[in-house]
Structure 1
Amino acid sequence: MTPPAGDEARARRRRSSRRAGRLLRRLRRTFRSRNLAGAFAIVVSCVVVLVALTGPERRPTFYRTDPVRRALGLPMEDAVTMAEAQGEVPSLSASPRFVLPSGLEPEKWAFGPLPRPPAEPAPPAVASLEPPTRQAPPPTPAGPAPEPPPAAMAPLGPEARAAPPAEPPRFVPRPPLSSATRLATLVLPPPPPPRPEPAPKDAPMLAIVIDDVGPAAAPSQRATRLPRPVTLSFLPYAAGLDGLVAAAKAHGHEIFLHLPMEPEGDEDPGPNAILTNLEPAELHRRLAWAFGRLPQAVGVNNHMGSRASSDPGVMMAVLEEIGRRGLVFVDSRTSPLSVGTTLAERLDLPHAGRDVFLDNEPDPAAVHRQLDAAERLARRRGQALAIGHPHPATLEVLESWLPQAETRGLRIVRAGELIARSRCRPPAEPIPVSACGNGDCPPVPAC
């Protein structure tokens, strides 16, 4: 028998009411204060992370005074930038600076002569702080010798000053001082010498290597005329190497061999390239040919070589030949799997790795951005190495950027100098602190 229509409607209403009650209870549990606080914290964290990942790169500002920066060996920031940065921080711009003096001026250290001990025992006299005055001795009379003058002698009268001396003044050695007089005498240390400015060799260093020099004559000749000495890496199969190398050396540039090596793709690295499937005899023949083409080279870096630089056997043979010839090695890092730096470290071979590529995008604005990134890295780590190519945009930017970088305190060096400096690692020693002065301090060992 079917239930009446009224009972069925009431049952539906009861079921709907129970469902609405359960939904209301769930909403109340969901929107509790602790749940809302947790959801708000999650949203804020996501926003902060998103802003940090997508926002512009900010350069940290260190609010340190100039003496502190010189003592820590940090680069001196631009005065205008520092002033603007400090103006943004009220606690620094509003609070005064108190600087303790390092010592009095040299002219204030002039003291008078020490007093002579009296003939009879007398209390010790403190040295006068007035500058000494030279007076002529009184004339020696023919009669009996006068009594010795007391320690604090009064100034001579006009009659005595007018009388000429009977003989030129003679030097009379000063008698030794008693211990009481020494203790009573005021003795102050000399002022400390001024701290010199950091030497240029302590400035952050940036080495720039120009690859692929040689095949294109006009860009290669322009690269040899860069206004600051850099490292030019020549491909061994280029024609007219002798003239280009002579021009580069005349302008102070460093000569590297840009050794062709096998890449991962289908690109042609050039004739007599170092391949991974070569027999040992053929590999050594190609190495000898490349070094023979550029005997003036003082270092080597790889041209392409993303596959060959990842092969330990090939790289070991290349690095052993480089070490046998007494050259340095720069890993161009054309592959993240390169083993060149690791093997060079094990062989104790002077080496370095590329930090920044300047012209993956041969556009002046892109080259400027990469140079700024290399400069920031050099200032943070003390040194960096960048690699570019003789593209017109790269050379145009470098011709104006190199002199400007030196005026900002950046030291432009060649790759060999950077490698020699990085291998100079003095042992860590505690900093001696003493009150020595006047040239008595021991020399600081220089690396």
Structure 2
Amino acid sequence: MRLLLLLAFILIVSPTKAAQVAIIIDDIGYRQTDTAVLSLPSSITLSVLPHTPLGKEIALLANDNGHEIMLHLPMQALNGKKQGPGGLTNKMNEQEFKQTIDSALGSIPNVRGVNNHMGSLLTQMNEQMIWLMESLKQQDTYFVDSATTRYTKAGEMANKLGVPQLKRQIFLDNDVSETALEYQFQRLIKLANNEGQVVVIAHPYPETIRFLQSNLKRLEQQGLTLVKTSQLLPYQLAQKESKVTGSKTHVR
């Protein structure tokens, strides 16, 4: 009887969910070649730049194909690089800032979440990140911190306002050589197995598209599940609740 109870307990508490991988392709909207992302599986999330020549069209087609759509929101960088249309800066007052966000969201249909394009300066600023999260909460969208600076405050402010959020862990294609892509792909497999989930950002480069088309099947072979980005949010919240519960049981 004790053995049966022990086996039942193990089955209940043992994790059954396969490790999960979310891949976001961003920087979409300017080039005709960006339409190649539509050839990727619908579990790949597509993040589209606002007010771009092809952004709305690609977002509509991608949504019809079953892809989850995000807004790739331009933010001020430390290097002073131009953000493009819809960019947020530290020179804007709160009204200008939030109107720019609303306009950017309105330019791309079917948006479920937002991640930052550049933003190594702006994501370090508490006030501007509060304004951002207030806007996203009002629009009921989640946020993925692209983590373009180690000093980012975006996740902290998202948590403060209760905006569902994730953080990029791997950039797949800073180098698009086959060797570099393979190295990063192996990193994501290892990290997913170790952490239970991984958030990857890549770009619509022809080399990246070809690599993913050839190698995504390896995820399943490694026991990993490719998921839409929003599917990681319940997992993350469950992990937080588990940690909180666990910490309470150890209070003395």
Task: State the TM bucket, normalised to the shorter chain.
Answer: 0.7 to 0.9
Note the alpha carbon deviations across 1:300-332, whole angstroms, 9 max, x for none: 000001111111111110111001111100000
Note the alpha carbon deviations across 1:335-370, whole angstroms, 9 max, x for none: 111100111122221100010111111212211111
Aligned to 1:346: 160
Aligned to 2:119: 305
| Residue of structure 2 aligned with 1:293, choices 107, 111, 114 | 107
| Residue of structure 2 aligned with 1:274, choices 68, 75, 88 | 88
Note the alpha carbon deviations across 1:28-80, whole angstroms, 9 max, x for none: xxxxxxxxxxxxxxxxxxxxxxxxxxxxxxxxxxxxxxxxxxxxxxxxxxxxx
Does structure 1 retain, via aligned residues, the 8 Å contact 2:50–2:85?
no
- State whether structure 2 residue 3 is matched by structure 1 residue 211: no
Extract unaligned runs of 5+ from structure 1: 1-101, 103-188, 430-447
Does structure 2 retain, via aligned residues, the 8 Å contact 1:230–1:413?
yes
One-letter amino acid matched to 2:82: D
Does structure 2 retain, via aligned residues, the 8 Å contact 1:331–1:351?
yes
| Residue of structure 2 aligned with 1:355, choices 154, 169, 174 | 169
| Residue of structure 2 aligned with 1:230, choices 20, 44, 53 | 44
Using the alignment, how far apart are the partners of 2:55 and 2:195 within structure 1? Answer: 36
Aligned to 1:250: 64
Using the alignment, how far apart are the partners of 1:291 and 1:222 within structure 2? Answer: 23
| Residue of structure 2 aligned with 1:369, choices 152, 173, 183 | 183
Extract unaligned runs of 5+ from structure 2: 247-252
Using the alignment, how far apart are the partners of 2:91 and 2:108 within structure 1? Answer: 25
Consecutive aligned runs of 4 or more in structure 1 exceeding 4 Å deviation: 426-429
Using the alignment, how far apart are the partners of 1:276 and 1:242 within structure 2? Answer: 27
- State whether structure 2 residue 146 is matched by structure 1 residue 316: no
Does structure 1 retain, via aligned residues, the 8 Å contact 2:87–2:100?
yes
Note the alpha carbon deviations across 1:98-136, whole angstroms, 9 max, x for none: xxxx9xxxxxxxxxxxxxxxxxxxxxxxxxxxxxxxxxx
Note the alpha carbon deviations across 1:115-173, whole angstroms, 9 max, x for none: xxxxxxxxxxxxxxxxxxxxxxxxxxxxxxxxxxxxxxxxxxxxxxxxxxxxxxxxxxx
Does structure 1 retain, via aligned residues, the 8 Å contact 2:20–2:196?
yes
Using the alignment, how far apart are the partners of 2:161 and 2:99 within structure 1? Answer: 22
Note the alpha carbon deviations across 1:262-282, whole angstroms, 9 max, x for none: 011131110231001112221
Structure 1 length normalisation: TM-score? 0.50
**Cα distance, 1:404 vs structure 2:** 2.1
Using the alignment, how far apart are the partners of 2:42 and 2:100 within structure 1? Answer: 33
C-alpha distance 244-200 of structure 1, shift in aligned 2 (>3 A): farther
- State whether structure 2 residue 232 is matched by structure 1 residue 418: yes
Where 2:103 maps in the other structure, the secondary structure is: helix
One-letter amino acid matched to 1:214: G
Aligned ranges 1:7-18 → 2 under 5 Å: none
**Cα distance, 1:250 vs structure 2:** 2.7
Aligned to 1:444: none
Aligned ranges 1:44-443 → 2 under 5 Å: 202-218=17-33, 220-425=34-239, 427=242
C-alpha distance 280-415 of structure 1, shift in aligned 2 (>3 A): same
Does structure 1 retain, via aligned residues, the 8 Å contact 2:120–2:148?
yes
**Percent identity between the aligned chains?**
31
Using the alignment, how far apart are the partners of 1:261 and 1:419 within structure 2? Answer: 24
RMSD over aligned Cα, in angstroms? Answer: 2.3
Relative contact order: is structure 1 or structure 2 higher (C-alpha 8 Å, sep ≥ 6)? Answer: 2
Using the alignment, how far apart are the partners of 2:139 and 2:22 within structure 1? Answer: 23
Using the alignment, how far apart are the partners of 1:385 and 1:255 within structure 2? Answer: 15
Using the alignment, how far apart are the partners of 2:15 and 2:67 within structure 1? Answer: 19
Task: Give the paired residue count.
Answer: 237
Q: Which has the higher strand share?
A: 2
Larger Rg: 1
